[in-house]
A and B are shown apart, each in its own frame.
Chain A
């Protein structure tokens, strides 16, 4: 207990009087996290948009003009029995016309221009199951249905879905890259701060060492400094992005990062800060973590 109190005291002595350098570190860490958080926010929103689109998107198979309703319904039953299909609805030519007239009220005259014998083609509206919503699964299903006798054409938003999916996966890769850049840059910033901190308190480190302080006792205040810088920097960055998100809510409809993602971002900040201070200590106090026999050279 006394030792723990002493460690906290050392942490306080280490941080005291270093307001400006700590503030600079905090700002650099939080600004790096702002960039990362924005990438995450865009990815998360595009991801949910993709999910919504996938859920709402359907497939329509247009049937030959002479195909009887019974044959069309039988074909619908066969398709509905497929694993990647949730439901199939048979749209008669009359229903197709009613749908057209209700959806395109300003173009109703187009139908009137055609002969009275013209009928819109009957079709099967296919709703894919969850497992069939990926672009690849949709394409495969479309190919299968198009190959069936009596089917003239199959349409679905293949290009739109594929583009959206590509954008989301490109953004996810960008997030990963931004995350890696963030991890390296923040680690280096924190490592440098810790190195300066150790250098500023080299006398304290030396006297503690010759007074019999253990390695972890000497190093803990600096590790805590890195941890706190990372946690506070990531939390501040997240708060800034949340504020900007709130301000833009009226202009661009979007949702802020889910709570679990926010917690992960703050956690990542802590881990990166800790890793940075560990790197800084390795440079400033060689021998960190080694517990084997000491072999020549200077030891602390």
Chain B
């Protein structure tokens, strides 16, 4: 298991964001975490990249246990994860190339290797012509594709996507979902949090449903038509 949670709970002060969540993520799996706003989807993802740690229960991600991880180990965990946000979070003072190259640069990868990998990735995504552009010069869809490229540049085994289509129109959303499915077909496990699971084609992913911090198996697939 790449991710395993057992009886995990987390509270923001007195408000219970997650309660007694038990779940796992296998290698190469595509997991959709769905639920209404405030259900705890983002909290679940933040726990996975250990931005926060569980109040109770056990959590293990990519071999790192939440109850034993040290500050020195935290960057090592993060290098095994790619993270994508709804609002893209590209660095506005850097070009597309530098945004995508960042995870390799902070890990101390040789510049020649970085150049080769970033050029290859931008070409795969059809964004080579944008490499010297700044984020504000790109459309929303392009910005999200750059954010996904940044998340994938160091070949992480897990990609966490928190509402990656939340700021995009339906056509572009579809393109982003297709890109995530492609990435998953390449062997990367993907966890996608979304309030609208209908955009994921049936049979391509396992779905979990969160409601007021509690996890449940919906027992049905919402399908494309609702």
| Segment with Cβ contacts to B, from A31-39, A78-86, A184-192, A204-212 | A204-212
Q: Quick one: CB contact mask for A194-232 with B, threshold 8 Å, 1 for yes?
A: 000000000110111111111101000000000000000
User: Could you say which of B17-25, B44-52, B181-189 contacts chain A?
Assistant: B44-52
Complex interface: chain A residues within 8 A of B109 (CB):
2
CB-CB nearest in chain B for A211: B103
5 tightest A-B contacts by CB? A212-B79, A213-B106, A3-B108, A211-B103, A212-B78
Interface residue total, chain B, C-beta cutoff 8 A:
35
Neighbour of A212 across the interface among B52, B68, B107, CB < 8 A? B107
Tell me which residues across on chain B come within 8 A of A290, comparing CB atoms: 71
Chain A 269-300 residues near chain B, CB threshold 8 A: 287, 290-300
- The reply to whether A294 and B69 contact each other, CB–CB distance below 8 Å, is yes
Contact A299 B51 (CB under 8 A): yes
Q: Which residues 66-87 of B have a CB within 8 angstroms of A? A: 67-72, 74-76, 78-79, 81, 83
Interface residues of A in 9-28 (CB under 8 A from B): 13, 16
Partner of A211, one of B52, B68, B106: B106
Cβ–Cβ contact A2 & B52, under 8 A? no
Identify 12 residue pairs between A and B in the complex whose beta-carbon atoms are under 8 Å apart, listed by A's number.
A204-B93, A209-B75, A211-B103, A211-B150, A212-B154, A290-B71, A292-B70, A292-B71, A293-B68, A298-B52, A299-B50, A299-B51
- Residues in B whose Cβ lies below 8 Å from that of A287: 71
Q: In the complex, A155 Cα to B86 Cα: how many Å?
A: 89
Q: Does B89 touch A at the CB level, under 8 Å?
A: yes
Say yes or no: A214 contacts B75, CB within 8 Å: yes
Is A6 touching B51 in the complex (CB atoms < 8 A)?
A: no
Q: Mark B88-123, 1 if CB is under 8 A from A, else 0.
A: 010111100000001101111111000000000000
Whether B70 pairs with A291 at a CB distance below 8 angstroms is: yes
**B74 and A299 contact, CB distance less than 8 A:** yes
Residues in A with CB closer than 8 Å to B70 are 291-294
What does the 1/0 interface line of A252-273 toward B look like (CB < 8 Å)?
A: 0000000000000000000000
Pick the residue among B74, B102, B111 that contacts A294 (CB under 8 A). B74
Known contacts A203-B89, A203-B92, A215-B71; 8 further A-B pairs (Cβ under 8 A): A2-B111, A3-B108, A210-B83, A211-B102, A211-B106, A291-B72, A292-B70, A299-B52
B55, B68, B75: the one contacting A296 at CB < 8 Å is: B55
**Known A-B contacts A2-B111, A6-B105, A212-B106; A13 and B50 likewise in contact (beta carbons under 8 Å):** no
Give A221-256 interface residues, CB cut-off 8 Å to B. none
Return the contact of B49 from the options A3, A203, A210, A292 (Cβ within 8 A). Answer: A210
Tell me if A208 and B68 are in contact (CB < 8 A): no
> Bound state CA distance, A291 and B108, in angstroms?
21
Residues on B with C-beta less than 8 A from A3 are 108
Max chain A Cβ within 10 angstroms of own Cβ: one of B50, B68, B78, B83 = B78
Give Cα A296–Cα B55 distance, bound, in whole angstroms: 7
Of B69, B72, B79, B106, the most chain A CB neighbours within 10 A belong to B106
- Chain A residues with CB below 8 A from B94, complex form: 13
Determine if B177 is an interface residue (Cβ-Cβ < 8 Å): no
Question: Do the beta carbons of B107 and A207 come within 8 Å of each other?
Answer: no
Residues of A within 8 A of B150 (CB): 211
Cβ-based interface call for B53 (8 A): yes
The residue in chain B whose Cβ has the minimal distance to the Cβ of A208 is: B106
Residues from chain B with a CB closer than 8 A to the CB of A209 are: 75, 78
Which residues of B are found within 8 Å of A13, using beta-carbon distances?
Answer: 93-94
Which B-chain residue is minimally distant from A6 (CB atoms)? Answer: B105
* B53 and A212 within 8 A (CB): no
Give every chain A residue within 8 A of B107 (Cβ-Cβ).
Answer: 212
Identify which of A208, A214, A296 contacts B53 (C-beta below 8 A): A296
- From the candidates B50, B74, B76, B105, name the one contacting A2 in the complex (CB within 8 A): B105
Decide if B53 touches A213 in the complex (CB within 8 Å).
no
**Do residues B110 and A2 form an inter-chain contact, with CB atoms below 8 A?**
yes
Residues of B with C-beta under 8 A to A212:
75-76, 78-79, 103, 106-107, 154
Give A125 to B72 CA distance when docked, in angstroms. 74
Q: Tell me the smallest distance from the CB of B108 to a CB of chain A, in Å.
A: 4
Contacts of A207 in B (CB 8 A): 89, 91, 102
Using Cβ atoms and an 8 Å threshold, which residues of chain A touch B92?
Answer: 203
